[in-house]
A and B are shown apart, each in its own frame.
Chain A
Amino acid sequence: MKRLKTALRTPWFWGIVGIFLLLLVNTLKDPAYLAIGVNPTTGLLTGNLLDILRVSAPIILIALGMTFVIATEGIDLSVGSMMAVGGAVAMETLSNIGDPTSVGAMLTAIALAILLAVLLGAVNGVLVAVVGLQPFISTLVMMLAGRGIARVITGGQNTNATNEPFRQLANGQILGLPTSFVLAIVIVLLIALLMRRTALGLMIESIGINPHASRLAGIRPRPILIAVYVLSAGLAAVGGLFSVSEVMTVSVSGTGNQMELDAILAVVIGGTSLAGGKFSIFGSTVGALLIATLNKTVLFLGVPSAATPAFKALVIIALVLLQSERIRSWAFGRKPSARKPSGPERPAVGTGNPVTKEAVA
């Protein structure tokens, strides 16, 4: 019973419940929803579940990157644009190389995409960690600049390219599961190992909870902050690669459009608090899967897709309210610790700057 109670309290538990509920709704509409079939031409497995896993890959990656940024009490509004940048670089590279079967071309495209994103992520990191800008403003600017950069790379076109190995990323399968999904999970596992087997995760959490104490304890905040923004941008670029690999075309205004909403939602569902501190990689991954399931459900039920952003916004609002102290204390019947008759205390714009240039001396 106690285990059940702890499970009920963990936020991602509700994410899993949500996934089941959505699948249930779909199955009610079509009892064969969960069926797995085989495509006679390609020999690959098909089915709605596999579709969900396939589209979840980019979301899993941007949610992963966003998790660490949010853990440092920051935010990265540019992840959607980074996806576009990644996709743009990849498509341009592949179409310029023009070799439809070369694995080398695919690897070059991937490497260049990640490289550019990493550079842009470093710019974000430097603006936040060294210059001391508020994360939301600096990543907001990068969000717009990023889209502009993607446009410049493709000359305003929605470049497409032909390269079979690259196309396999989103369209192929490993052990019956979509390749992109498998790769995404592998990346999640590797990053999770990185965070927990080294002290990086601990340091990120420490900085998010109390940046001043962390600095005095000898943690260098700057490299860590820069690292989380670089990671976020790099992962987003890979997400963009998976996304464009589906149709082998990048859409300079469409790719990654409004995906920052998905990323933030996934992280919040997963239980990482927007106020920074302890994070949950597993939670964010569950959150990403939930969003993918939601996207597919909306399509399946015939609801116009224009409705989803509104719905997601409502879910974010609901979750953020639930996370807030006021509702928590009301629901769990305990009194809030400081009974002030009103309002929030901390700096309201984006985040109180965790590491100012002054503090980092």
Chain B
Amino acid sequence: MSGSRTLAEVVPPAPGLPEVDQAPRGLWSRLWERSQTLLPTLVALLLLFGMLIYAEIAYGRVFHAGTISSLLVSFAPTIILAVGMTIVIISAGIDLSVGAVVAFSSVAGVMLMNLGWNGWVSIILMIGFGALFGLIAGVMIQYFNVQPFIATLAMMFLARGLASILSTTPVVAPEGSPLLLLATDWKLIDGPKVNDFTITPGLLIAIVVVVGAVFFMHRTRMGRTVYGIGGSESSAQLMGLPVAKTRVWIYIISGALAGLAGVVYTAEVGGKAQNVTGIGWELDAIAAVVIGGTLLTGGAGYVLGSIIGVFVIAALRLIITKDGTINPEYLTIITGAVLLAFVLLQRALTSRRKQ
């Protein structure tokens, strides 16, 4: 057979490596590239300001140190949950169990305290229980190929069920428990009358968690592996990144943070824990994460974006409470509708990007 010539022989070899075909990357083009994921975050930010301004005009006393700080304090648990959920969703996973874990860990922890266990130990255990649920889910997902939503759905029912077994009536932590210390008010700014900016250690914990998460996601190998897993798990695997270990840790972290959120919440409500706590909280967390610009399909997103998402939800609550006429029954529907709207927005943006 007359040897076909190779393409390489037919085409004269390039003198060196050809001009690298990369578009000039000025500030604007870089911003545009990033915009696909930043756009929802920007929308969220605008929405947030819009709602706050509307609330101020309609009800007044919104941009008030007192209002803002008490809102922040009451949303500290949600912030903690949103951080954990961000990490999970970036890895293209999901954790439906966080609300139930909050319930279990708070009930179990308070009961331990009532049995006489050391308060601080109980607090550590509360976080530990959450981590345990996360560990089981992580192992199921990583080593047994179970889909995350099924694994964490099962965990959700397990945790909620165990909480109900422990107690169906509220339990209250003993007086003087270290737990309650986490809810002490610290006046940062003493304003006129009740317009003080007060925070609690619980809020501080939330801030520390946020800072820690940002550091984790952007400055540690495991954090970058989370992004890698979300982008292309097989590639991350082949790149030699510790995919298995990271994945299990992702769910351990999510569980532990849920436990921590339970600690902060229980402190905030005066040490009362119930098996019905946390119902629907996973939806709030997911909504915050999605609103904040993290892609549900994984691989892209920021912890700080999710914080904006939490604020959007907080603002929503604020408006509804201040308004007073909107039925609280509509609340879940509204949160769901907002979540849906943002998911659709994400979808529209990613399909545009594919072209």
A19 at the interface (CB under 8 A from B): no
Q: Which residues of B contact A107 (CB under 8 A)?
A: none
Contact with A148, one of B143, B160, B329 (Cβ below 8 angstroms) = B329
Q: Is there an interface contact between B149 and A344, defined as CB atoms closer than 8 Å?
A: no
Alpha-carbon distance A336/B280, docked complex (angstroms): 39
Alpha-carbon distance A261/B149, docked complex (angstroms): 12
Binding site for A on B (CB under 8 A): 89, 91-94, 140-151, 153-158, 160-162, 164-165, 168, 233-234, 237, 243-244, 247, 275, 280, 283, 286, 296-298, 327, 329-333, 335-337, 339-340, 343-344, 347, 351, 354
Contact with A309, one of B147, B149, B157, B233 (Cβ below 8 angstroms) = B157
Contact with B144, one of A326, A345, A357 (Cβ below 8 angstroms) = A326
Q: Is there an interface contact between B237 and A342, defined as CB atoms closer than 8 Å?
A: yes
Q: Is there an interface contact between A347 and B329, defined as CB atoms closer than 8 Å?
A: no
Binding site for B on A (CB under 8 A): 75, 77, 127, 131-134, 136-138, 140-142, 144-145, 147-149, 151-152, 156, 258, 261, 264, 274, 304, 306-314, 316-317, 320-321, 324-327, 340-345, 347-351, 357-358
Q: Is there an interface contact between B243 and A342, defined as CB atoms closer than 8 Å?
A: yes
Alpha-carbon distance A151/B164, docked complex (angstroms): 24
Chain A to chain B contacts (Cβ below 8 Å), 15 pairs: A141-B339, A144-B280, A144-B283, A144-B332, A145-B332, A274-B147, A313-B157, A313-B161, A317-B154, A320-B140, A324-B145, A343-B143, A347-B298, A350-B94, A350-B147
Q: Which residues of A contact B91 (CB under 8 A)?
A: 348
Q: Which residues of B contact A140 (CB under 8 A)?
A: 283, 286
Q: Is there an interface contact between A132 and B161, defined as CB atoms closer than 8 Å?
A: no
B332 (CB) vs chain A CBs: closest residue? A144
Alpha-carbon distance A140/B148, docked complex (angstroms): 14
Alpha-carbon distance A316/B243, docked complex (angstroms): 26
Closest chain B CB from A228 CB (angstroms)? 18
Q: Is there an interface contact between A131 and B347, defined as CB atoms closer than 8 Å?
A: yes
A133 (CB) vs chain B CBs: closest residue? B343
Q: Is there an interface contact between B93 and A348, defined as CB atoms closer than 8 Å?
A: yes
Interface SS of B by simple majority: helix
Q: Which residues of A contact B283 (CB under 8 A)?
A: 140, 144
Closest chain B CB from A261 CB (angstroms)? 5
Q: Which residues of B contact A258 (CB under 8 A)?
A: 157
Q: Is there an interface contact between B340 and A136, defined as CB atoms closer than 8 Å?
A: no
Q: Is there an interface contact between A306 and B145, defined as CB atoms closer than 8 Å?
A: no
Alpha-carbon distance A312/B155, docked complex (angstroms): 11
> Nearest 3 A-B pairs (CB), nearest first?
A310-B161, A306-B164, A309-B161
Q: Is there an interface contact between A148 and B330, defined as CB atoms closer than 8 Å?
A: yes
Alpha-carbon distance A75/B234, docked complex (angstroms): 25
Q: Is there an interface contact between B145 and A326, defined as CB atoms closer than 8 Å?
A: yes
On whether A317 and B140 interact (CB within 8 A), knowing A145-B332, A145-B333, A261-B157, the answer reads yes
Q: Which residues of B contact A324 (CB under 8 A)?
A: 144-146
Q: Which residues of A contact B147 (CB under 8 A)?
A: 274, 348, 350-351
On whether A133 and B351 interact (CB within 8 A), knowing A309-B160, A313-B161, A320-B140, the answer reads no
Q: Is there an interface contact between A308 and B333, defined as CB atoms closer than 8 Å?
A: no
B167 (CB) vs chain A CBs: closest residue? A306
Q: Which residues of A contact B153 (CB under 8 A)?
A: 77, 261, 264
Q: Is there an interface contact between A148 and B149, defined as CB atoms closer than 8 Å?
A: no
On whether A274 and B150 interact (CB within 8 A), knowing A306-B161, A310-B165, A349-B89, the answer reads yes
Q: Is there an interface contact between B336 and A145, defined as CB atoms closer than 8 Å?
A: yes
Contact with B297, one of A145, A327, A341, A347 (Cβ below 8 angstroms) = A347
Contact with B336, one of A134, A141, A325, A326 (Cβ below 8 angstroms) = A141
Q: Is there an interface contact between B168 and A306, defined as CB atoms closer than 8 Å?
A: yes
On whether A343 and B244 interact (CB within 8 A), knowing A144-B332, A357-B351, the answer reads yes
On whether A349 and B298 interact (CB within 8 A), knowing A144-B280, A310-B157, the answer reads yes
Q: Is there an interface contact between B150 and A345, defined as CB atoms closer than 8 Å?
A: no
Alpha-carbon distance A316/B331, docked complex (angstroms): 31
Pick from B154, B164, B168, B333 the residue with the most CB of A within 10 Å: B154
Q: Is there an interface contact between A358 and B160, defined as CB atoms closer than 8 Å?
A: no
B339 (CB) vs chain A CBs: closest residue? A141
Q: Is there an interface contact between B161 and A327, defined as CB atoms closer than 8 Å?
A: no
Q: Which residues of B contact A304 (CB under 8 A)?
A: 165
Q: Which residues of A contact B343 (CB under 8 A)?
A: 133, 137
Pick from B143, B158, B161, B164 the residue with the most CB of A within 10 Å: B161
Alpha-carbon distance A77/B94, docked complex (angstroms): 15
Q: Which residues of A contact B142 (CB under 8 A)?
A: 342-344
Q: Is there an interface contact between A141 and B340, defined as CB atoms closer than 8 Å?
A: yes
Q: Which residues of A contact B165 (CB under 8 A)?
A: 304, 306-307, 310
Q: Which residues of A contact B143 (CB under 8 A)?
A: 326, 342-343
Alpha-carbon distance A137/B244, docked complex (angstroms): 25
Q: Is there an interface contact between B237 and A313, defined as CB atoms closer than 8 Å?
A: no
Alpha-carbon distance A149/B314, docked complex (angstroms): 23
Q: Is there an interface contact between B243 and A343, defined as CB atoms closer than 8 Å?
A: yes
Alpha-carbon distance A264/B150, docked complex (angstroms): 9
Q: Is there an interface contact between A320 and B298, defined as CB atoms closer than 8 Å?
A: no
Q: Which residues of A contact B162 (CB under 8 A)?
A: 310
B334 (CB) vs chain A CBs: closest residue? A148
Alpha-carbon distance A133/B295, docked complex (angstroms): 12
Contact with A156, one of B168, B298, B329, B351 (Cβ below 8 angstroms) = B329
A325 (CB) vs chain B CBs: closest residue? B145
